[in-house]
Amino acid sequence: MDFVHAPFWSNLATMTALTRRRDPDARQEAWRIFYGDVHVGTIGIRSGNPTGGDQWSWHCGFYPGSNPGDASDGTAPNFDVARAAFESAWSVFLSKRTEADFLEYRRHRASTAWKYAMWDAGCKLPTQTADGRARCFCGAEIGIADMDQHIYAAHMEANAA
């Protein structure tokens, strides 16, 4: 899949970790915003093409790894205004985050991806077998109790920044 990679706020030293990629699934212009490897929000043209109002909308925040109410969103007349609003929202959101929040998000993402990979491989999860034991697609024996540990140890994506 071809993503357009573009610097987001390359002029702001503190924001160099943010990048944007065109959303390939959106019919209208939409951008997914990334902080390193974490998808932290979107900026795009509003669907339905509202007349007389803001044409753009943005959403900032990720979950799990944040509290209800931490994420925010809004509308704007154009991309630049939406980007500025996103920038403010992100600095607030980021100021409330800890490394543990990012770890929680990455672990959740790894677990989700692993379950899909298990289904794709035709493997049963330990929760789906009578004795609570199963074999991972990588060949490892896993049980209900050590399933998460195995995912985090063997199937976590590298924290590429």
Three-state secondary-structure class, residue 104: helix
Instruction: Please give the residues from 112 up to 141 whose contact with Zn ion meets the rule CB under 5 A.
Output: 136, 138, 140
Distance CA 34, CA 139 (A): 33
**Would you say 89 or 136 has its CB closer to Zn ion?**
136
Q: Are 161 and 17 in contact (CB under 8 A)?
A: yes
Interface with Zn ion (CB under 5 A), residue total: 4
Closer residue to Zn ion in complex, CB, 71/123: 123
Judged by CB under 5 A, which of 4, 12, 153, 154 binds Zn ion?
Answer: 154
Give the shortest CB-142-to-Zn ion separation in angstroms: 7
Is the CB of 9 or the CB of 114 nearer to Zn ion?
114
Residue the block writes with tokens 């996103």: 86
Q: For Zn ion, which stretch binds (CB under 5 A), given 30-38, 67-75, 100-108, 153-161?
A: 153-161
Cβ distance to Zn ion smaller for residue 79 or 152: 152
> What number of residues does the chain have?
161
- Paired tokens of 91: 């600095």
Q: Is 84 in the site for Zn ion (CB under 5 A)?
A: no
- Rounded to a whole number of angstroms, the minimum distance from the CB of residue 116 to Zn ion is 13
Q: Could you count the other beta carbons within 10 Å of the beta carbon of residue 119?
A: 12
145 alpha-carbon distance from chain centroid: 27
For residue 25, which of 6, 40, 3 has the smallest C-alpha distance?
3
Stretch that binds Zn ion, among 3-11, 23-31, 80-88, 146-154 (CB under 5 A): 146-154
Q: Which two tokens stand for residue 130?
A: 């009578």
Residues that bind Zn ion (CB under 5 A): 136, 138, 140, 154
